[in-house]
Amino acid sequence: MASSIVSSIPLSISDRLTAGILALLIGGFLVFGAGLANSAVLHDTAHDVRHSYGFPCH
């Protein structure tokens, strides 16, 4: 029973927060780069995707 509890809670609270904040930062960076960054090359590459997802474009 004790071992099953250990294996069913793989992340401590601090680990969970670390992973969560890390995921938010990386995810935000990726979405910003593809969806919002004001670079002509990024804009032209992601053009159709930006419009499809309704990101503000042009």
Contacting positions for another protein (CB under 8 A): 7-11, 15-36, 38-58
Q: CB of 31: closest distance to another protein in angstroms?
A: 4
Q: How far is the CB of 27 from another protein (least distance, A)?
A: 3
Task: Rank residues 1 and 54 by Cβ distance to another protein and give the closer one.
Answer: 54
Q: How far is the CB of 1 from another protein (least distance, A)?
A: 16
SS3 for the chain is CHHHHHHHCCCCHHHHHHHHHHHHHHHHHHHHHHHCCCCHHHHHHCHHHHHHHCCCCC
